[in-house]
Chains A and B, each alone.
Chain A
Amino acid sequence: MAELERDPQHGSAKRQQRVQAFTNNMQHASLERQLLASQAAKAELDIKLREKELQIERLERDKRWLYQRETEERETREKEGAEREEERRQSDAEIRSLRASLSALRDTHVELQEAHSTLSRTHSQEVSSAKTRLVTLEHQTRTLEDELADYRRLADERGDALREAQQRAEDLEIAVQSSRREEADSASWPMIRDELHRQAEYMRTLENTNARQAAELARLKEKHASIEVLREEKLTLERRLAGMEEMRGRVVGLEAQLDAARREREEWVKKGNVGPRASDTSISVTQTLSALRLEHARLLEEHGATVAHLRSREAELVGAEQRTSGLQDHASTLETETRALKDKVAAREHRAELAEREIGFLQALLASYTAEEGTKDDSGGVDEVLAQRVHQLESASAELKAANVVLQNALERAEEENMLGGARRTRPELLEELERERDAAEASRLELEEARNAAQSHLDNIETLEQTLFELRGKIGTGSHVPPGIRVLSLRDNPAQQWTDLRQEAMDRLKHENEALIKRLKQLGDAGARVDTTEGESNADGSHAPREDLVPRESWEVLDREKKELEELVKQKEKRLLRLQQVFASKSAEFREAIASILGLKLAFYPNGQVRVTSIYDLEAAFVFQPAGKSAEGGVEGARMQLVAQSEGGPQDLPQMMRYWVEEEQCIPGFLASVTLECYDKSKREEAL
């Protein structure tokens, strides 16, 4: 047991020991394992360390190499930097210089631009001026060319003239040579020339006289013609004058007859005066007298006629004289014309004379030449030729002269025609113009016709338009037509619109109400079962709480509005009533006061119709009246009063007065008046006391 007891302790210790040993073993083993492992790790690490060291060494080497490289590079870089710096500086300097040069160049550019612009301006100016100059020069050149052409023409003409002149000169030279030769040959030349001169002189004088005489002849012929005319006129006038003379003679004769007749009549009258008794002769006398009177009358008539004739003749004479004077004027103008013509003719003839003289001279010359030729036959051939040539030339010159004359005549005729006035020259023009005018007139007539037609059509148109206008006016009146360009306007807020708005509003309201009712009806139809309980009460008032929704809101609103309106109306009415009451009260007070002050009585109206009357002089004298029943009075008057009560006070003889006035006379106003008098006396007496 002990062992057992020990044993367990021992065993447990042993066990503990064993466990500890085991654990120690185990720890040991594990530690060894750890050691081994750590050794292995150490070896491994050593290897690694060595490797690292190797690596480090290599890296160190590399580093060193790299450092070297770096230093090298740095050096090179520094060098390069220095170079850069240098270069930069150089480039800066360069840039600066370039900038300077740029600015300089800009300045020069600007200057150049300015110069360019000025130059361009001047250039344009120059160009324009040059253009203008060019134009002017062109113009000048044109004019100069024209002039040149003119001059050229002139020069040609001159050249022609010159050539002609040379020709002539050559001819003349030839002639001169020949003549010289002849002159040299002949000694009698001066004599012949003199003779020729003399003859030419003579010829000239003859021609002169001839021309003068011809001119005179022409003038005289003209004069003669006009004189002939005048003479004829004169002759006719003289013939008329002779007629006049005859008439005058007749007039004288008639006057003489008249005188004689007068004398005879006077005699007759005397005779009549002397012997009225000669009744037998009176008949014959009266007969003769009447005959004589007739004669006298006739003679007077004749005289008048002759006088009238004379007057007409005189008028004719005057007309004739005027005509003669006109004719004379005409003659004088004609004479002047003829003189001018004669002058011209003289000039012509003079020229002709000159020409003829020349011809004569030349002919003489020729004759002399031919004579000479006849005398001298030795130089025959050449002279013959020359003579022929001269002949030819002469004939040519004669032809030319004739042509010249013809041309001159033509020229004169043309001038005359010119001188005779533009009318003749423009006659064709006038005719043309007339034709044109006629055409224009025709055209305008046609136009007029057209215009008239157009006017007619326009009038018709106007008529139809007026008709339509009338119709349209009617249409506008009924409002079924609105003219174009016209707006129909009305105020937005006009009575018609207000009315329609009002109606629309009512309509809308009813519609809403209707809709709500229909809805309600449908609901009720759906509900079905409850119909019998709610039927017939849809229009009942909405105050009933459980049936509030039976009436649609819309109809309730309508009713509410109506109610409000009615309330408003009631309020207004009440107000008016109040106002009326006030007015009535004030009026009745006024009335009472008036009664009191006028009649001396105070009135108080009771609601039952009775009236209490109190005198203002004695307040104790009060009476109450009641309107009498209508049945009692019959129909005499509306409201008769009946005295029903009286107060204790009042005048002493009141019962007496009452008896007299009320019972006997039945006159309440009289009773009241006497009561008023009594009361007044009483109050006065009391005041005096």
Chain B
Amino acid sequence: MATKQAPTRQAITLKGSTNLVTEFFKYAANTILFQRGVYPSDDFHMVKKYGQTVLVTQDLALENYLDRILSQVNKWLLTGSVTQLVLAIISKDSRVTLERWVFDVNLVEPPADSTTPSAPKPESEIQAEIRYILKQIVSTVTFLPIIDEPTVFNILAYTHESADVPADEWVDTDPLAIEASKSQQVKLRSFSTDVHRIEAMVAYRYEG
């Protein structure tokens, strides 16, 4: 009986965790786009989320774009075939990558020896972790170089070779690298559910 029950619980957890992670990506992307001024701040409106106000875009095209990405990312997360998501901010004029916001997606290995599963992480704790990350994203403005040129952004998904990719929508692309000699990296906080562990990092171009 116990063996039968365990997988279903696992499945539910996986799905729930996937949804949580996907939602986090949505708000994180919105926060970055707002904070880094990729879109005009008039386009954003405030939404209560994770016990704080988060700015979310009202631009229909952008919303649509994010939704399409996130629905695919959700599928990939369920199959465990996505390892990294990158939001790259690119200069419009020079087409140079200015910032790369990297979110590592790791599957949390369940401890092999314990037969009884450890107590599930309370959602409030996860939300607190997410809140900390979002706050940290906001606070990165203090040290990131000021962007005074028009920018666009792109979202890259690092997937396994074997991943199921809808070929008409997704294409292999350049990783939009920042030159190693001109890059700085700052590791941000991470958060984890019972299934996933998301580690955030920002790499930016700095010509000091």
Chain B hits for A487, CB < 8 A: 158-161, 163, 165, 172
Stretch at the interface among B8-16, B19-27, B46-54, B89-97: B89-97
- Per-position binary interface string of chain B over residues 67-106, scored 1 when its CB falls under 8 Å from any chain A CB and 0 otherwise: 0110000000000000110101010100101001010000
A492 near B178: Cβ-Cβ < 8 Å: no
A494 near B154: Cβ-Cβ < 8 Å: yes
Question: Interface size bucket, B side?
Answer: 35 or more
A235 to B157, CA, bound (A): 101
Interface check A445, CB cutoff 8 A: no
A477 near B170: Cβ-Cβ < 8 Å: no
A479 near B152: Cβ-Cβ < 8 Å: no
B156 near A474: Cβ-Cβ < 8 Å: no
B100 near A490: Cβ-Cβ < 8 Å: no
Interface check B1, CB cutoff 8 A: no
Interface check B148, CB cutoff 8 A: no
Chain B hits for A489, CB < 8 A: 156-159, 165, 170-173
A480 to B176, CA, bound (A): 8
Chain B hits for A486, CB < 8 A: 83-84, 158-161
Q: Which residues in chain A, 480-507, are within 8 Å of chain B measured between CB atoms?
A: 480, 482-483, 485-500
Q: What is A's interface to B at a CB cutoff of 8 Å? A: 474-480, 482-483, 485-500
B65 near A479: Cβ-Cβ < 8 Å: no
**CB-CB nearest 8 A-B residue pairs:** A479-B177, A496-B154, A479-B175, A480-B177, A478-B183, A490-B173, A477-B203, A489-B170
Chain A hits for B86, CB < 8 A: 479
Chain A hits for B102, CB < 8 A: 476-477
Interface check B155, CB cutoff 8 A: yes
The A interface is mostly helix, strand or loop, or mixed, namely mixed
Residue of A nearest to B76 (CB): A489
A500 to B88, CA, bound (A): 15
Least CB distance, A406 to chain B, in whole angstroms = 72
A478 near B172: Cβ-Cβ < 8 Å: no
A495 near B156: Cβ-Cβ < 8 Å: no
The B interface is mostly helix, strand or loop, or mixed, namely strand
Least CB distance, A472 to chain B, in whole angstroms = 12
A499 near B92: Cβ-Cβ < 8 Å: yes
A478 near B160: Cβ-Cβ < 8 Å: no
Chain B hits for A500, CB < 8 A: 95
A490 near B90: Cβ-Cβ < 8 Å: no
Partner of A490, one of B155, B161, B183: B155
Q: List 27 A-B contacts (CB under 8 A).
A: A475-B180, A476-B84, A477-B201, A478-B100, A478-B180, A478-B185, A479-B178, A480-B177, A480-B180, A483-B158, A485-B161, A487-B158, A487-B165, A488-B174, A488-B175, A489-B156, A489-B159, A489-B171, A490-B173, A491-B69, A492-B169, A492-B171, A495-B65, A495-B154, A496-B90, A496-B152, A496-B153
Known: A474-B203, A490-B154, A496-B152. 8 other contacts (CB 8 A): A477-B185, A478-B203, A487-B165, A488-B157, A488-B174, A490-B170, A496-B90, A499-B92
A495 near B62: Cβ-Cβ < 8 Å: yes
B185 near A474: Cβ-Cβ < 8 Å: yes
Partner of A491, one of B62, B65, B158, B174: B65
Chain A hits for B170, CB < 8 A: 489-492
Chain B hits for A496, CB < 8 A: 88, 90, 152-154
Chain B hits for A483, CB < 8 A: 83, 158
A499 to B93, CA, bound (A): 10
A616 to B95, CA, bound (A): 71
A52 to B164, CA, bound (A): 110
The CB with the most chain A CB atoms within 10 A, among B156, B170, B175, is that of B175
B172 near A488: Cβ-Cβ < 8 Å: yes
